[in-house]
Structure 1
């Protein structure tokens, strides 16, 4: 097998490299984009639960009449923060909490935080804005959790993990392709200089 050092435009059509546009190869998977948007909405809902529970805990400790409710709200804050961090899909969390890798498990935790935020809401103290924040954040997280549970039962989480693995290998192949293209251009410029 001999390697031809001719100009690429002079190569026969069978030997010409396929014309693959890098923009075509870099196209985004729309399913993963939707999953990222939903994950962002869930993280925002969890952070709203954190804010609502922080204000409720401050109000409970300030009055001094609801110490146990304040402690429960502190637990709700920690768990809601954990839900928000889990939505980032940080692999370190999944090493210790494998159940959160599965959507049904993640959804159950979100439902728990949503119900806890709603159950601990102060209807008579804290003002109308705090009550609206508590109800909005709890119902948003509750809805996200139920959707996660339903999607987990339908194995959509498994589909997402498979597509993420495929996208990662595609990204690595694309990086290799760009490096090869760069190397090919460097070699062509060397050939032109020598001729």
Structure 2
């Protein structure tokens, strides 16, 4: 739920940055490319919301987003993109609030992605440990069967 809220605030920051930049007087190629990146950031922030809501259609298209590290990468991308591209230019209260939203949302989403990354690493470590334990158990059982077979052979074979 926290990740959804952070992502929605990132989307709001992108929306406000797009709205502020629409009225910019200098509309050159950098303006257009910047607006395209902001729209992309807005759509990616909305994608994070749908991923966190676990929409079934996304699992078929992007199976990487079912894994925690995939979600962590997407969230960190949106967090960094929000901090970099939802940049306010001006000294009005609106620009200051945009700077506040941008800072809070990007840092919070980066923290959420860190939690996902740490969770993935801990699950990976536990999975590896469980695999080693199962392998050791299987080897032990094979040795026990071999020992029982050798004892049976000692009992049934006459000594020379």
| TM-score greater than 0.5 by the shorter chain | yes
Q: 1:86 aligns with which of 42, 47, 51?
A: 51
CA RMSD of aligned residues (A): 1.9
Is 1:106 equivalent to 2:71 in the alignment? yes
- 2:17–2:88 Cα contact (<8 Å) kept: no
Unaligned runs of 5+ in 1: 1-39, 160-195
Please give the alpha-carbon distance, in whole angstroms, between the structure 1 residues aligned to 2:52 and 2:99.
25
Is 1:51 equivalent to 2:12 in the alignment? yes
Q: Number of paired residues?
A: 119
TM normalised by structure 1 equals: 0.57
Shift of residue 98, structure 1, vs aligned partner: 0.3
Please give the alpha-carbon distance, in whole angstroms, between the structure 2 residues aligned to 1:136 and 1:103.
23
Partner of 1:137: 105
Partner of 1:122: 87
TM normalised by structure 2 equals: 0.69
The DSSP-based 3-state class of the residue aligned with 2:53 is: coil
Please give the alpha-carbon distance, in whole angstroms, between the structure 1 residues aligned to 2:100 and 2:67.
31
Unaligned runs of 5+ in 2: 128-160
Decide whether aligned partners of structure 1 residues 64 and 84 sit closer, same or farther in structure 2, where only a CA change above 3 A counts. farther
Shift of residue 103, structure 1, vs aligned partner: 0.4
Shift of residue 63, structure 1, vs aligned partner: 0.7
- 2:79–2:107 Cα contact (<8 Å) kept: yes
Structure 1's consecutive aligned runs of 4 or more residues displaced over 4 angstroms after TM superposition are: none
Tell me which protein shows more helix as a share of its residues: 2
